[in-house]
Structures are given as structure tokens and as C-alpha cells.
Amino acid sequence: MKPIRRVALFGKTGSAEVVEALVSLLDYLQGRGLAVLIEEGIAADLGMVAAAASLESIAANADVAIVLGGDGTLLNAGRRLAAHGVPLVGINQGRLGFMTDIARAEMFSAIDRLLDGEFTADRRLMLDARVLRGGREVFATRALNDVVVNKGDLGRMIEIETRVDGEFLYVLRADGMIVATPTGSTAYALSANGPILHPAVPGIALVPLCPHGLTHRPITIRDDCTIEIIPVGAHEARIHCDGQSTFDLKCGDVVTVTRSAHAVTLLHPPGYSYFAMLREKLHWSATPHRP
């Protein structure tokens, strides 16, 4: 890791606990002689609007971004910074924390080790999602976890045609379809019985949501494939990206999902283990069986 001299702070807005932790972290970082850039959204919560830094300023100047909150807060920061190559460190003040690996109680000791260059980098692939209507792009965004096409406000199934690299896969009658990265395989896709993909696996999971045909099973395809999802029924559909960016679809719209040219770099503390994280978060057996 290159030396860290400028740190950007992101946080979950509207949380008194996050504000308290950010104030302590800000004092600690400045006490270590570091320049600190406070993201505009959280600066208002801190009462430091005058000191707020724009995303452009953070992208141009920050050596690392520290995110306090849950996975949703980190997803938001990751999408915004991915194109600029700023690595992220997550401090968990949410619930599960699959990506925010540092506990609040260990924040200061972890920051010391980060500044000492002991963290390791982990690049996570992202997805680019586009919606074409009549051949014209009407929506585009990026996702770190997943792109989901599901039913709109109606409590009915939708009908969607699915293609991979231009080849017809099937017409699916279901509540929807999840297109998940390895990072997102432990999110919404996991609750729909999708496969868990190790972050190093170059794959994308297609996970049907409550399919009407019980033989429609999740499958994993190469990460360089192009996925097309086309609503063909009369009922409303909607696209969700990381559960944070949405767009209403019409019959005949073409949702195209591809691997993004950009990636998110997560920095993990010494001793980080993906499998240990799974054991902890999913409450698997903590110790191996030895007869």
C-alpha cells in the first residue's frame, strides 16, 4: 500500500451513533497528522457543512475512504468512488456487515494498522446496468451487489425473457430475477437460495425469485457474459441496483447487464478470512470437528 496522508470519511446519515463515532475518528486522524475530507452528506450531520468535500475533491485527493455504517453505506460509497480508484475501509455500525469488517470497538487499533500499511487489498467486480427503450438508453447505473428485475407495486408475477450473450435462455414467470456478483451472492441472492460465490470467482449468478416453474434453478455464468432481461408480460416491472437505485420498466424494455470496467477495492485488516467471515455472519460451526 502507498502511504496514507489524506483520508475521506463517509457515514450513514441520520444516525447519532455514527456521528459520535465519526467525531472521535476525525479527532484521532487529525491527531495523527492526516488531512481529512468529510463527504458532503455526512458533513451536515456533523454540523461541518463549511468543511464538506465534494465527491470530485475526494476522488482527486483521498488516498483511502473510511466508511462508518453498514453494508448499504459501503455500497453507496463504493459505487460513487469506483471510477476513481479510491480504496475503501468499512467500520461496521450496521447489522450483518459482510463488507464492513472492522468492529466499532476495534476502530482505533485497526486504523493504526491501516496507516502502518498492514491491510491487504481485495478487488471486487461490479456490474453495469442499462435500460434500452426503443433502442434509446433511458437509464444506466452501476452495482456492486446485484441488479434485480422484479415486479412493481402489483402483487403478481411478471414474465421476463432472459438471454445470455444473445442466446435465448428462457421465458421466466416469477417475482423476478437477481443478477448477482460474488460480493452480492451473500446478499439478496442468498435469501433466494442462490449460490455463494467466493470473491475471486470470475462469475455472475442468475437467481430466479420465486419462479412459477420449480425447475428454474440458479445458475452461474462467466463474468464476461452479457445478460439481457426483457419484460414481455402485461404487468409492471422494475429494476433495482444494490437496492438503492430504481427505475420503472415497460413491456419490451431491454435491461442489459455486463461486467463493469471499474472495480471496488476493499482493504482488509491483518488476519481477515472470507471463510471466517461466512462462519461468523451465517452462524456456521465455529470450530472443526476433531475425533
C-alpha to C-alpha distance for 159 and 231, rounded to whole angstroms? 6
Residue with cell 462469475: 203
Distances (CA, A) of 132 to 74, 109, 253, 256: 28, 48, 6, 8
Task: Give me the half-sphere count of Cα atoms (radius 13 Å) on the Cβ side of residue 57.
Answer: 14
Residues 6+ apart with CB under 8 A from 56: none
Residue with cell 407495486: 153
C-alpha to C-alpha distance for 123 and 78, rounded to whole angstroms? 11
Annotated catalytic residue, options 45, 71, 146, 175: 71
Question: Is 71 an annotated catalytic residue?
Answer: yes
Do the Cβ atoms of 189 and 146 come closer than 8 Å? yes
Residues 6+ apart with CB under 8 A from 110: 89, 91, 102, 269
Active site residues: 71
